[in-house]
Structure 1
């Protein structure tokens, strides 16, 4: 999965984390967001780490983040 293409527009944080997780091989191609949404909606190491990856990509200038209407991310570079 190409994260830059899939996150060209604003994406809710959990969907963005799913895309990053899929690109890293954490989630298989056949797994849908619905099947693994518990990873993002509960307090667990994988979901927490993927959210932190998103935050670090913002700090690195690769993603942009906004808080309204919900926490969302989009690809901006490099």
Structure 2
């Protein structure tokens, strides 16, 4: 399951950070409760995951709403579907 599937519905910031971490392989064999300290304390890993989520919002990949509970979801029409990809990459 990829991030698009995991964030198909509105998901609170802790859950979204966990799913992003799982997607990139950080929490492959761990449950949310085993790593919840990452999301519930001030630390570089939790901050990086939060920053990545907001970067994906800015890039147009995720939707964000702050009420209720700072939530994220995958955009149904992500920018990857458009003709704006730069072929020089």
Q: Per the shorter chain, which TM-score range?
A: over 0.9
Q: Distance in 2 between matches of 1:5 and 1:70?
A: 20
The aligned residue for residue 18 of structure 2 is: 18
Q: What do residues 1-49 of structure 1 show as CA deviations (whole Å, max 9, x unaligned)?
A: 3100110100001100100101111112x31001100000100010000
Query: After TM superposition, what 4+ stretches of structure 1 lie above 4 angstroms from structure 2?
Result: none
Superposed displacement of residue 75, structure 1:
0.1
- Normalised by the length of structure 2, the TM-score is 0.83
Q: Looking at CA atoms only, which structure, 1 or 2, has the larger radius of gyration? A: 2
Identify unmatched segments of 5+ residues in structure 1: none
Aligned residue-pair number: 77
Identify unmatched segments of 5+ residues in structure 2: 80-89
The aligned residue for residue 69 of structure 1 is: 68
Superposed displacement of residue 69, structure 1:
1.1
Q: Distance in 1 between matches of 2:67 and 2:23?
A: 26
Q: Secondary structure at the match of 2:25?
A: coil
Higher relative contact order (CA 8 A, sep 6+): 1
Q: CA RMSD in A?
A: 0.8
Q: What do residues 51-76 of structure 1 show as CA deviations (whole Å, max 9, x unaligned)?
A: 00000000000000001111000000
